[in-house]
Amino acid sequence: MGVEVVVDGLSKSFGAQSIWRDVSLTLPPGEISVLLGPSGTGKSVFLKSLVGLLKPERGKVVINGVDICTCPERDLYEVRKLFGVLFQDGALFGSMNLFDNIAFPLREHTRKGESEIRRIVLEKMEMVGLIGAEDKLPGEISGGMRKRAGLARALVLDPEIILVDEPDSGLDPVRTVLLNQLIVDLNAQIDATILIVTHDINTARTVPDNIGMLYRRSLVMYGPREVLLTSAEPAVVQFLNGRPDGPIGMSEEKDTSPGELARLSEVAVPPMMPQLEVTPGMPERTAVRRRKERVLRQLRTLAPSAQQEILKTLTPEELALYGISAPATGSWPQQSEPATAPAWPQQAAPAPLPQDEVADVPQQVRPSPHPRDPEAPPWAGSAEPEPVESSRRRWFGRKRGEQ
C-alpha cells in the first residue's frame, strides 16, 4: 500500500511573493487526491515542495516519519525513491526513444541488468498501452502518448506515491477520460498514494477520493470529494461551474461585487457525478473500502450536504451495519440499535479475468474487514451534527495558532 503524506503548516514564497501560506493536509495512503485551483495559485509549486525540489520556508512534509523539509540530503534521497512524478509535458528526453526514456531511472538509480530492465520497461509500457512504440522518439508521437510514456517512466521504480501535474493539459476530452481511467486502474493495481494537480473540472468530479482547492494563497478546502463537490462556497461554485462572475478573476486579487455574489448564490451546485470505477477485470481498488471507513468515522464533522452524498454510497447492508436508519433524507442520520460487529465474509481479491471475459463483470461492493467499534459509532456522543461554524472552520482552513 502507498504511504501517507502529511503536510503541516507549509508556507512558500519566492522573494517578496508569497505563493501560499499555512497549508495543512494529509494524503491518505493508497487514495487518489486532487488539488484544484485557478492558474498561478501555486499547484505546481506545491507538488515540487512535496518531492523536495523546492524548500518551503515554514512547515513540514512528513513521509514515513521523515520531515523532508529539514532532513539531511541523504534521507531526502531515500524518501524520493518512494515517488514517481509525471510532469505536465511528460518531461521526456527528446533525443531518446521511448524505451530508453522509460528505462532511464532504472539505469540511473539501480544496478539491474539489461534483461531485467527490459522486462520492467515492457511491463510498464504494457500497463499504459504503449507496447509497439518502444522505438519512437517523443517528437514522433501524440501528446497523449507522451503523457502515457511519462507515466510509464514514473512507474518503473515501483513508486508508493505518484504525483501527476495536469494530466489533462493539451489532451482532448476523450484522451483525458482515458488517461483518468488509466490512473484509476493503476491505483487498483498498485495501491499507490496519488495526488493529481489539475484545473479540469471533469477530472475533479470523477477521479479522486479527496479534493482540495488552492485559492488566494490558502488551501480553502480539503477533504472527502463530497465536501468540495457539494460546497456552496462562492469560489468553489464559480470554479466548478466555470463561471465568469464570482471571486475568481483574471487577476488573483479581484474583488467581488455584491451583484456578482448574488448572481453566484443563484447558481446551483452541479449534481455529484459517480466516481470512475476500475475497468472490469482489474483488481478492486482497496482504497475505496479504507476510505469508506475513514470517512464514516469523520461523518458528523462534515457539512450536511456532504453527509448526504456519502450516505448515498452505502449499500443497505452497510447502512444496517453502521446503524443508519434514515439515509439521504436531508436530516441527520438516525442511529438505530448498534449492530454487533458481524464478521465480514472473507473474500479473496478477484483474479483478473481474461480479456474476452471482462464484459459485464458485476460490481462488487465489499464490506469492510475492519468494521467500526460498535460501542463508538462515527456519530456517537451527540444526536446533533457539529455546529456549522466549526465544521466550516475545519474545511475552510484555520488561522495559524488556532485550534
Binding site for ligand ATP (CB under 6 A): 14, 19, 37, 39-45, 199
Of residues 44 and 230, the one with the C-beta less far from ligand ATP: 44
Of residues 42 and 150, the one with the C-beta less far from ligand ATP: 42
Around 193, how many Cα atoms within 13 Å sit in the side-chain half-sphere?
A: 17
Got the DSSP string for 16-42?
TEEEEEEEEEEE-TT-EEEEE--TTSS
Of residues 169 and 305, the one with the C-beta less far from ligand ATP: 169
Of residues 39 and 363, the one with the C-beta less far from ligand ATP: 39
Tell me how far apart the alpha carbons of residues 350 and 22 are, in angstroms, rounded to a whole number.
43
Tell me how far apart the alpha carbons of residues 82 and 154 are, in angstroms, rounded to a whole number.
11
Tell me how far apart the alpha carbons of residues 242 and 246 are, in angstroms, rounded to a whole number.
10
Got the DSSP string for 273-324?
PPPPPPPTTSPP-HHHHHHHHHHHHTGGGS-HHHHHHHHHTS-HHHHHHTTB
Of residues 43 and 300, the one with the C-beta less far from ligand ATP: 43
Q: Considering the complex, what minimum distance in angstroms separates the CB of residue 397 from ligand ATP?
A: 17
Tell me how far apart the alpha carbons of residues 353 and 361 are, in angstroms, rounded to a whole number.
9
Is beta strand 5-14 parallel, antiparallel or unpaired with respect to 58-63? antiparallel
Q: Considering the complex, what minimum distance in angstroms separates the CB of residue 23 from ligand ATP?
A: 12
CA dihedral (40, 44, 50, 52) in degrees, to 10, reads -100
Q: Considering the complex, what minimum distance in angstroms separates the CB of residue 49 from ligand ATP?
A: 10
The residue type found at 305 is S
Q: Considering the complex, what minimum distance in angstroms separates the CB of residue 232 from ligand ATP?
A: 24
Contacts of 220 (CB under 8 A, 6+ apart): 213, 214, 233, 235, 236, 396, 397
Cell triple for 56: 518551503
Of residues 14 and 77, the one with the C-beta less far from ligand ATP: 14
Q: Considering the complex, what minimum distance in angstroms separates the CB of residue 83 from ligand ATP?
A: 18
Q: Considering the complex, what minimum distance in angstroms separates the CB of residue 326 from ligand ATP?
A: 42
Residue written as grid cell 459485464: 360
Task: Give, in degrees to the nearest 5, the angle at Cα 230 between 222 and 168.
Answer: 65
Tell me how far apart the alpha carbons of residues 40 and 44 are, in angstroms, rounded to a whole number.
9
Nearest to 187, CA basis, from 209, 168, 217, 214: 209
Nearest to 206, CA basis, from 233, 237, 232, 173: 173
Q: Considering the complex, what minimum distance in angstroms separates the CB of residue 235 from ligand ATP?
A: 14
Q: Considering the complex, what minimum distance in angstroms separates the CB of residue 165 from ligand ATP?
A: 8
Of residues 35 and 161, the one with the C-beta less far from ligand ATP: 35
Of residues 147 and 372, the one with the C-beta less far from ligand ATP: 147
Burial 228-265 (b: 16+ CB within 10 A, else e): bbbbebbbbbbbbbeeebbbbeeeeeeebeeebeeebe
Of residues 19 and 272, the one with the C-beta less far from ligand ATP: 19
Q: Considering the complex, what minimum distance in angstroms separates the CB of residue 71 from ligand ATP?
A: 21
Residue 20's DSSP bridge partners are 12
Q: Considering the complex, what minimum distance in angstroms separates the CB of residue 42 from ligand ATP?
A: 4
Of residues 48 and 292, the one with the C-beta less far from ligand ATP: 48
